[in-house]
Amino acid sequence: MILFPAIDLKDGQAVRLLRGEMSAATVFNDDPAAQARAFVEAGAQWLHLVDLDGAFAGEPRNARAVESILAACPVPAQLGGGIRDRATVERWLGAGLRRVILGTAAVEDPDFVREVARAYPGQVAVGIDARGAKVATRGWASETDATVTDLARAYEDAGIAAIIYTDIARDGAMQGPNVEATAALARAVSIPIIASGGVSSLDDLQRLKATGVVSGAITGRALYDGAVDLRAALDLLAD
């Protein structure tokens, strides 16, 4: 299992939200690149970046912060938030991102997602963010009729590198991930599933690992709050 330390970007700062509410943002670092370097120095092999402002605007809003992270850190990074056209995909991959994450576009423009997944094999992931069984889009502000499993299955043959599955009710709440739903999704599709939302202890990571089907986990607030020691978490998942 790969652990992805999360850096969520709002107004150029590293923040964490509570259940996706922009009004409930806590600033953890004014220098996202310094935060990224700290994660890498602790042993992180990947970084997970989110342009929160971009997710609402539908276009990049924290490009300078992302570029500073890419310049400062040698490890691969994936980014979601506001990536909804091919030009933006090409811009980010050309800037050095290893992987882009398409969320709203995965619901609203599946042909586009399939097109870029074919054009950039291994570099396109789908973000599925859910309240209950229903998928939410546009920075989690809109709920759709699409179900998590149906959306994931729709991309089985698209060459998607991974699916990042977020249980919105758990995100930033430090209440543990939805292990059961995440494992059920991983068993329903052949695409690697990365768990996001609620990871707040080494025990949470152990439970995800014990499923035997979850490929990765994203955690943010628990690292910033000190509830999870990054080195200990990496050691746990490496065993």
Active site residues: 8, 129
Distance CA 149, CA 189 (A): 8
List C-alpha distances in Å: 130 to 39, 42, 158, 232. Answer: 27, 31, 21, 29
Residue tagged 């999870």 (tokens): 228
How far is 163 from 154, CA to CA, in rounded Å? Answer: 12
**Phi, psi dihedrals of residue 13, rounded to the nearest 5°:** -115, 155
Rounded to an integer, what distance in angstroms lies between the CA atom of residue 131 and that of residue 103? 14
